[in-house]
Structure 1
Amino acid sequence: MNYTVIIILGIFALGLVLFTIIRNLKDKMNLEQKMNNDYPKTIDEKGDIDEEEDL
């Protein structure tokens, strides 16, 4: 009887750990995307003219 309870709790704990790891990876990817999109672009990336060009 005791082994059955320990096995059930172990499977539950393993599932909880896996769920937490997978959720953390998804949140990390979302955070990276938000940070990349939120970062202000430089003048050159916006398509402004290059001031170093010779006329």
Structure 2
Amino acid sequence: MKKSKHEPKPMMAARFQAEAREALAKRSGKRSRFLDVALSNGSDFEPVGRLAG
């Protein structure tokens, strides 16, 4: 019989967090500055209407 491929949600969330931390550690300086500026400005500078993606 085949084993179920279902992964419990807490384990899946922990795996996603670990992958995200790993990806953020590898980001370049330019990308880092872009994300830091985007976070500091907040949602007021997000595009609206047709520009929103």
* More helix per residue: 1
Q: Structure 1-normalised TM-score?
A: 0.39
Q: Which has the larger radius of gyration?
A: 1
TM-score of the two chains, using structure 2 as the length reference = 0.40
